[in-house]
Amino acid sequence: MDIEFLKEFLDEKVHQYHKPEFIDSDPIQIPHLFSCKEDIEIAGFLTAIISWGNRTMIIRNASKMMELMDNAPYDFIRNHQEKDLKKLETFVHRTFNSIDLQQFIRSLQHLYLHHGGLEASLVIKDNSDTYQTAIHHFKKLFFEVPHLQRTEKHISDPLKNSAAKRINMFLRWMVRDNKAGVDFGLWKTHSPANLSCPLDVHSGNVARKLKLLLRKQNDWKAVAELDMNLRRMAPNDPVKYDFALFGLGVFEKF
């Protein structure tokens, strides 16, 4: 497909799906419940981490997480004591259980007390134009505190060729501008030009049908290939096309 024609087609789909109505059926509605920067980013991070499977279940369980933290996630993260974590013992989302949630609370406290929080911990520091190494280093910081090995699987590592779909989605939420009222644009130390598409079954299948992606596996090599093609169309904001690819796949069965 001609690149200019494809860009025009996808821009139309972005216009169709990149609007506040998108929030009603998407997990991004959970961080939209908050107004404080730290509450938004913590709610967004924890919601993104459990964003696999049925979206209704994701939203329900993310809401449950917020309730367990008294709907004040930043205050809970900063000030909780070990005894406060017992209230989380009822939580489970697929393979992410209460043990994992308790560890994530401890690790987030560590990030905010010792590494400047989520924004500083995920900033790109090697002059690259993607978050591949930034996510790798973030994972190391996150698990500096004592933890069970089982919990490490819930944060992917792009240097091990993972597509890191959930972290890339969280980064999109935090970094892209909020002019349309969907993403937040909170992290001014980050650039949307460096974002990568949260590659999943839906966006991957649509990208392959449009010849934006030839690689068959949904891994970091596929993310890099899709990055290259999306950046040809929108070098300063390539991940706006996530709305087009996702909408075509989920809502139009493209």
Q: Per-residue pLDDT averaged across 205-233, rounded?
A: 97
pLDDT tier for residue 1 given thresholds of 50, 70 and 90:
low
Q: Per-residue pLDDT averaged across 44-69, rounded?
A: 97
Reported as a single tens digit per residue, the pLDDT across 43-55 is: 999 999 999 989 9
Which range marks the domain in which residue 60 is found?
3-250
121-153 b/e (C-beta count within 10 Å ≥ 16 → b):
bbebeeeeebbbebbbbbbebbbeeebeeebee
- 3-state SS, residue 213: coil
Is residue 254 scored above 90 in pLDDT?
no
Is residue 144 scored above 90 in pLDDT?
yes
pLDDT at 201: 92
Is residue 12 scored above 90 in pLDDT?
yes
SS3 string, 43-56, reads: HHHHHHHCCCCCHH
C-alpha 154 chain-centroid distance: 12
CA distance linking residue 92 with residue 57, whole number of Å: 11
pLDDT at 160: 97
Q: CB count, 10 Å around CB of 208?
A: 15
CA distance linking residue 2 with residue 165, whole number of Å: 28
Q: Number of structural domains, the chain? A: 1
Is residue 6 scored above 70 in pLDDT?
yes
Is residue 129 scored above 70 in pLDDT?
yes
pLDDT tier for residue 253 given thresholds of 50, 70 and 90:
confident
Question: Percent of the chain, pLDDT > 70?
Answer: 100
pLDDT tier for residue 196 given thresholds of 50, 70 and 90:
very high
Q: Per-residue pLDDT averaged across 72-98, rounded?
A: 97
pLDDT at 86: 96
Please classify residue 254 by burial: count the beta carbons closer than 10 Å to its beta carbon, then call 0-12 exposed, 13-18 middle and 19+ buried: middle
Is residue 244 scored above 70 in pLDDT?
yes
Which pTM does this prediction carry? 0.96
pLDDT at 104: 98
Is residue 120 scored above 70 in pLDDT?
yes
Please classify residue 81 by burial: count the beta carbons closer than 10 Å to its beta carbon, then call 0-12 exposed, 13-18 middle and 19+ buried: exposed
